[in-house]
Amino acid sequence: MTDHELRRSVEAWRAQRHAALRRPMSWLSLVGLDWLHDGTNVIGSGPEAAVRLARGPALAGEIDLRDGGAYATSAVNGALLHAGEPVHQLPLVADADATDDLPPTTLEVEDLRLRLIRRGNHGERFAIRTWDTTAQSLRAFEGIDHWQVDPAWAVRARFDPSPPGTTIPVPDVLGDTIDTPSPGTLHFDVGGVPCQLTALEGGDHGELWLIFADATNGAETYGAGRFLYTDAPGTGGTVIVDFNRAYNPPCVFSPFATCPLPPAGNRLNVRIEAGERDFHPAN
């Protein structure tokens, strides 16, 4: 890929990322995260609600958590909807269980949208995320500051595969640590300094996902680190780590995201002056 082609590719990727953030249900419009308990969980704006809505009816419906599943029922006012219709004991598909053929279930309360998420090392914890499709943050979004694309930051790395079945502990902002499959480690140099990053699985075709921190964090970039995807390792185990595509995790946009943090060993002692800078919402 020529330098010109790389620049065009990164700019196109950035445009797609910004467009995704402007969608009605994006990290910018995420306004709630409520953990569920076994049994009946009330949804509404009233003080008794386990899933507390910023507006709408005091009682919109409820979610019954039982036998490892969640089931939604609308209140008599019919305020809790799915596909525009009130629900009764509707089984909910959580994000972790969704597939291309079976997406996560979306519930509706006026302009609000709700989905079930499943977290924990064994997927034992359930919560409801709430989005506000009319959020001011969507209208105010003007993009994310970033360094100019520099082909020098498309770094060639050597991929050292891990034995099959290898997992590493990955912490998250909730205080959980999840044992996560790791296909291997990338080795590369930055300004003559040897560096390495342990990769996570990044896709169905051998892509790699990197969660990393560097010496710009807390000043120019988000304090908890950034994310980056690469293509699958090529012939001879070569991988291009294009730091121009380093991007902010969801937690930079909303306190209700459940971001993973850099695993042990993925904190670089060099400055990665490429990719997205820290995000500050427009006033």
Which tens digits make up the pLDDT trace of 253-283?
A: 999 999 999 999 999 999 999 999 999 876 5
Q: What is the DSSP string of 162-195?
A: PPTT-EEEEEBTTS-EEEEE--EEEEEEETTEEE
User: Where do the structural domains in the chain lie, given as residue ranges?
Assistant: 3-22+143-252, 27-140
Report yes or no: 259 and 173 within 8 Å, Cβ to Cβ: yes
Q: Which residues contact 13 (CB under 8 A, 6 or more apart)?
A: 245
How far apart are alpha carbons 90 and 87 in whole angstroms? 6
Which pLDDT value is given to residue 105? 98
Buried b / exposed e across 185-199, counting CB within 10 Å, b at 16+?
bbebebeeeebebbb
Stretches where the chain sits below pLDDT 70 are 282-283
pLDDT at 10: 97
Cα angle at 26 between 24 and 29, to 5 degrees? Answer: 75
pTM: 0.92
pLDDT at 283: 57
Element housing 239 (H / E): strand 238-242
Contact 136, 222 (CB under 8 A): no
Q: State whether CATH 2.60.200.20 applies to domain 27-140.
A: yes
